[in-house]
Amino acid sequence: MRLGDISRVAIIGAGTMGAGIGLCFAHAGYDVILQDVLDDQIEKALDRIERSQKVFIQELVFSEASAKAATERISVTKSLEEALDGVQLVLEVIPENLKLKQALFGQMEAFCATDTILATNTSGLSIASIASACIRPERVAGMHWVNPPELVPLVEVIRGEKTADETVNLIFGIAEKLGKMPIIIQKEMPGFAMNRLQFAALREALHLVEAGVVTPEDADKAMSYGVGFRYPWLGPLKTADLGGLDVFHSVASYLFSDLNAMKSPPESLNRLVEGGKLGIKTGKGFYDYEKESSEEILRKRDLYFLRQWKLIRDIQQS
């Protein structure tokens, strides 16, 4: 199969990620069928798509006409067999449970044409293990998006043990066509690349807070207005290059041995989770979210992400 052969895409799982991913494909001109077994999940997905479209229109990313056209390219169904009829690419976006994913991939392969590409949005499960449920594992790969997927440009394309080069290259090409910034994970490792980097930073932030070095607010400020301020443009390795590898080598020689190496979540995080303080979804976590609606908080986040991505794109194209 070639990139130009793909016109119809199925998204299996209509949660937050599935809705946003489906919208990306629709804006790129693909016909999208969004499948979920729950009616209320489908309704939530359609509501999310509508909210995202309003942000795009407000920020002049898409006109009202093009946003409407994209929405009209999205259809929904509860039937897996109906969703997979005539599609060239399937992206699974169900909960992170290996047995569930294996069972689904076995079903999907049975309903699809032999050359259909089967991709999973897993955040860290083994592609080889998921593909073991299939007769043609060479057609299975990872396509890991970052929340919110319609705004964050990164897509990880993950090669499984038996994934064909053609499959990897095709998914990479699709991600580029969607306007994303894909990277290839050449060999499997738990968490792939993005989550390993993300959780390395989270581990050190948790340690600093638990040790009383900084408050949660100041840990976030150190990242947002220092390290993170540079990373959208440079990343950690280019930052080291521009700062001088001799300088970074010198600091690493004494600091690496002192960085936290905890192997399990710290007590401060355990207490929050056990106490039902799960963040914005419950109104409290490290922060108190009860003074402002979750919708308004997420709206401001989405505006920030979108404007940042537009700025990065404008600079790259200048």
Sorted by where each begins, the domain ranges of the chain are 3-185, 194-287
CA distance 299 to 274: 28
CA distance 14 to 35: 6
Residues, the chain: 318
C-alpha distances in angstroms, 119 versus 15, 216, 271? Answer: 16, 37, 36
With 0.75 as the threshold, say if the pTM is over it. yes
Burial class of residue 165, CB neighbours in 10 A (0-12, 13-18, 19+): exposed
Residues with a known catalytic role: 123, 144, 156, 195
pLDDT computed for residue 155 by the predictor: 98
pLDDT computed for residue 295 by the predictor: 87
Pick the CATH number of 3-185 from 3.40.80.10, 3.40.50.720, 2.60.120.330, 3.90.1150.10: 3.40.50.720
Asked whether residue 1 carries a pLDDT value surpassing 90, the answer given is no
C-alpha distances in angstroms, 246 versus 228, 230, 240, 257? Answer: 22, 19, 9, 18
Q: Output b/e per residue, 56-92; b: 16+ Cβ within 10 A.
A: bbeeebbeeeebeebbebbebbeebeebbeebbbbbb
Are the C-beta atoms of 11 and 34 separated by less than 8 Å? yes
pLDDT computed for residue 267 by the predictor: 94
Mean pLDDT of 243-272: 96
Pick the CATH number of 194-287 from 1.10.1040.10, 3.40.50.261, 3.40.50.970, 2.60.40.1930: 1.10.1040.10
Report angle CA 158, 194, 185 to the nearest 5 degrees.
Answer: 25
Q: pLDDT band at 141, cuts 50/70/90?
A: very high
